Amino acid sequence: MYATYHPCGLPFAIGGDVPHIRHLVEAAPKLPGVDVMIGTVAKSINRKDKIVEVEDRRTLKKMMIAYDKLILATGSLPLVPPIPGVNLKNVFTLRTMHDGEEILATLPRTNKAVVIGAGPIGIEAASALKERGLDVTMIEMKPSALPGMLDADMSEAVLEKLNQVGIKTMCCSPVKEIKGEGSVSSVVVGETEIPSDMVILAMGVKPDLELAQQAGIEMGASKLIKVDDHLRTSDPDIYAIGDCAESKCFFTGRPMRSQLATTAIRMGKVAGANAAGGDKVFPGVLNTVVSSAYGLELAAAGLTAQAAKDAGIDVVTGRIRTLSKPYFYPGAEPIIVKLVVERGTRKLVGGQIIGDGSAERATLLAFAISHSSTVDELASMEYSYAPPVNECIEPLMIAAEAVMRKL
């Protein structure tokens, strides 16, 4: 039981980039007026009397804690689909320190692994297991990898990289069954049976809403806890943040899910300030995200072209391929940039980047999008250049000019 650990680091601990999994754990903060209760579970909320009933898991002792303002940050649980065989030994989720420790303990006896789900965690887990020398197959039921983060044309570059390093990928492939006698021995996909002695379920998360639902807190259209722009729930003295709380799309204002660590941190700052008497507003999300596929950096901000079309936004896209550094400099690698721009206003709507420096470029795009910047402004921005770190013409600008030619 830990006060804070970093679940996003679990795949990299499994792959060996993080030397020891316990390096992901942070000590409980020691701040004046802050009482951190580890190993304690909140059992119920009495909204009328403003009391939370908690229980110490070690002693089973129950306590009543009074509050003036309460913040719900109950997070999420790994999604375990109703596939026959998910309860077999060596079928894991990858969400907690315990999950990571169990996978690491099993690795010495593992030769073949199947990862179900090709989102960021699935891709990172598949890469980690390949780095450990396993024969890895990644299965995704949707037509492309990283659905929701990348358009299909950008996803192809990721799948190409994974195939190059020997990770077998299968899209449009729902899993029918996980087979085994006590322990997993194979995974059935359609008419194909894939031998495997380890399975990692990386199919997303489901919000942990039990405490809020028991307290009668209202749920929103996304089936998460409904909050206003100050992150107040239907009870004005209770706030909700993170994976259990509803976000809103920056573009449409519609309720949506944004179960990212960065969203939780931003929400926490707003709710914490407001619970202490402040007046901060949560502006919505662009779902800026970065991942890594066997050393290939990939990131996105804002809407994909498909998501924009689904939202009724008329967009123009530009996709370019260039180098991360000048051709003459050692280490120059391909970089792919795709921009999504609203046709009428010429405003940036989204962007996807694959290659070195993707995270920084996605962060810059997120800032530009949130400030209603146009593709013309991106094309004329000032930027830095030195051969060891960047191409002499910034790749974002090349992509912006490609869109402008279409417009």
* Residues 134-143 pLDDT 10s: 999 999 999 9
Phi, psi (rounded to 5 degrees) for 388: -70, -15
pLDDT band, residue 97 (cuts 50/70/90): very high
CA distance 404 to 316: 9
pLDDT band, residue 131 (cuts 50/70/90): very high
How far does Cα 306 stand from its chain's mean position?
19
| Domain positions in the chain | 4-75+206-275, 80-203, 297-406
Are 4-75+206-275 and 297-406 in the same CATH fold?
no
Residue ranges of alpha helices (H) inside 220-278 are 261-275
3-state secondary structure (DSSP) of residue 54:
strand
Phi, psi (rounded to 5 degrees) for 286: -110, -5
Segment 197-231, tens digit of pLDDT: 999 999 999 999 999 999 999 999 999 999 999 99
Dihedral sign for Cα 380, 385, 387, 390, please. Answer: negative
Report the CATH number of the 297-406 domain: 3.30.390.30
Please name the residue that has the structure tokens 């073949």.
112
Segment 154-186, tens digit of pLDDT: 999 999 999 999 999 999 999 999 999 999 999
Nearest to 158 by CA among 292, 6, 261: 292
CA distance 161 to 167: 9
Phi, psi (rounded to 5 degrees) for 77: -120, 155
Domain 80-203: which CATH number of 3.50.50.60, 3.30.565.10, 3.65.10.10, 1.10.10.10: 3.50.50.60
Segment 296-310, tens digit of pLDDT: 999 999 999 999 999
CA distance 401 to 345: 16
Q: What is the DSSP string of 163-212?
A: HHTT-EEE-S--EEEEEEESEEEEEEETTEEEE-SEEEE-S-EEE--HHH
Residues with catalytic function: 8
Domain 4-75+206-275: which CATH number of 3.30.450.20, 3.40.50.10260, 3.50.50.60, 3.40.50.10860: 3.50.50.60
